[in-house]
Amino acid sequence: MSGQERNFDVWLRGANADIIESLEQAVEASEFEAWRTEANDSLTESLEQVIDTEAVLLMIKQQAASEAVAVAHANGNNEPERAIRSVLAPETTHDIEEARRQPSRRAPAPQYDVDLTGQPCPVQSETDSPAANDIAVVPSFRAGSRSTWHRRIPAVAASAMTAISVAVVAVLVVLALAGGDQVGAFGRAVTVAAVVMVIGSLAARTWASVVEWKLRPTLVRLARDEHSRRLVVTARGPWAVQFKTYHWLHRRSIAPRPITNLLLMWEPGRPRMNVGAVLDQVCAEHARSAGTDGSSGSAEREPPQPDDRVLPDHDQDDGPLLARAGGQATKVDSSIRKKRQDTSFRARGKRTQAKRRRP
């Protein structure tokens, strides 16, 4: 065999080996492709077996709604239902208002209850479908879903009182101007009383507005607490300050129970607690827990709520809140103040933690 033939033979063997290798690789490649596709399908199938898509869907919608509520509240809107609707879809607001005007067209409001942790949970019936529940995205408590006319009583009464007083004063002033002797001592007394009523009424309204205006930023921040947010921001009227004060105290470990527990005691129709009563209760409980009345009391304290550990605190703004809320600051003794300072020191650490945890 000549050298040329030998070279050709070597090349031929090499080429043949390449062809075989290429064919083997092609077979392996197709086999690999098939395996890969099958493995991918198998992965999806394994997941499909354990995932309840309906439950996932419902959960996503509820979480989305909850986040929307938080956004609305963070913007300082204290009327969650209207706020959510305005944030999410202004074009539907018109329909909602129209439905309110025509009760026959109104869809039945979803019933919500409060569970033991204070979280709203839908009142389920056997015919409830997930789709029906996921519409009820704006959490409204059973108490809140009833008529709210009673909440407007103080405002209406104040307005009526002001109007009557103004009318009386006006009549008496006219009478006095017309013929001073006809008014007499009784008329003067009535005039003075009416003037006092008008001034008192206006002062009360101004005070309430100022308090609300001053407290609003603080309360909005307080409302970020995941557990108590809905309770605090949905509180209105004369009870709002009480809830907010109590919540504020709880955040500083002065009030042992979270506001969610407090709310369980609160139902429409029951006599309302006033700020003084709340603070008395708080001070008494604090004294008990501090052991000043002879009992240890610390065993009664509930463990700190998980949300308290991570949420930012706002001590610098909240200082005068107690005094503004009800003028009961003198009832908070020095031990509580000391405790408050300690808490605020600890809260600084909490703030740092919360900032780091934030994405």
Partner 1 sequence: MVRDLGSSPSADGTGGFDRYCREDTASLIGFLIKLGADPEEARDAFQTTMIEVYSRWDNIESPRAYARTTAERVFLKSRARAADESDRLAKGGWGVDRTPNLPLDMVIFKEQAAELIELMRQLPPTQRRVLAWHLDGFSNKEIAERFGEKPSTVASNLRHANSAMRKLWIERKQRAAATGRRAADERSGA
Q: Which residues bind partner 1 (CB under 8 A)?
A: 28-29, 32, 35-36, 38-40, 42-48, 50-54, 56-57, 59-61, 63-65, 67-68, 84-85, 87-89, 91-92, 131, 134-138, 306, 309-310, 349, 352-353, 356-357, 359
Name the minimum Å distance from CB 135 to partner 1. Answer: 6
Least distance (Å) from partner 1 to the CB of residue 261?
20
Q: Which is nearer to partner 1, 52 or 181 (CB)?
A: 52
Contacts of 293 (CB under 8 A, 6+ apart): 287
Residue 13 or 346 having the CB closest to partner 1? 346
Identify which of residues 51 and 170 has a Cβ nearer to partner 1 in the complex: 51
Min dist. Cβ of residue 136 to partner 1 (A):
8
Measured from the CB atom, the residue of 292 and 352 that comes closer to partner 1 is 352
Nearer to partner 1, 64 or 284 (CB): 64
Least Cβ distance, residue 68 to partner 1 (angstroms): 7
- Least separation in angstroms between CB 257 and partner 1: 21
CB-nearer residue toward partner 1: 101 or 356: 356
Closest contact distance (angstroms) between CB of 17 and partner 1 is 18
Angle between helices 275-290 and 237-251 (to 10 degrees): 20
